[in-house]
Amino acid sequence: MDSEIEIQQAKNNACVQTDNLAIPVWEDTSGFDPNWLTLIRQYQQDLFPPHLMKKESIKPWFVYYFNENDKAKSTYGCRLCKEYYDQLKLNPVHKPVLANPEGTLKRDRHQNTNTISKHRLSKSHMAVIAALKASKRKT
């Protein structure tokens, strides 16, 4: 059954192995590319808050989707919500916009600041982390 396979994959992926240490996927910052900050400053400085982009708390989940064809329309999202929200069978009604595969980009800095700064503590994001933690405890 596909749903059982997907849930098992989410459980298996709850940790990332680095240097013989298992880092929980919700704490892993290896997917955060510091070069994104340069790209943002270069092409979308007016849309992103530079101070927020440097915070350690966004590094485990933030992902930047650089658009080579239209750099000013590059988007961002949540790596954890995108990868696990559906796999964990969480309520699709509450699926965050940052889980969309194409990402999101709000029209101004204020809206992007709110979206990024509030996401980490949103109920939907916290549900993903809680489900990942619970699945890790079961293994």
Helix (H) or strand (E) holding 76, with range, is strand 75-78
pTM (2 d.p.): 0.83
CB atoms within 10 A of CB 111: 13
Question: Residue 47: what are its φ and ψ, rounded to 5°?
Answer: -105, -15
pLDDT reading at 4 higher than 60:
no
User: Rounded to an integer, what is the distance from CA 6 to the centroid of its chain?
Assistant: 19
Nearest CA-CA partner of 115 in 102, 100, 98, 93: 98
pLDDT tens for each residue of 23-46: 999 999 999 999 999 999 999 999
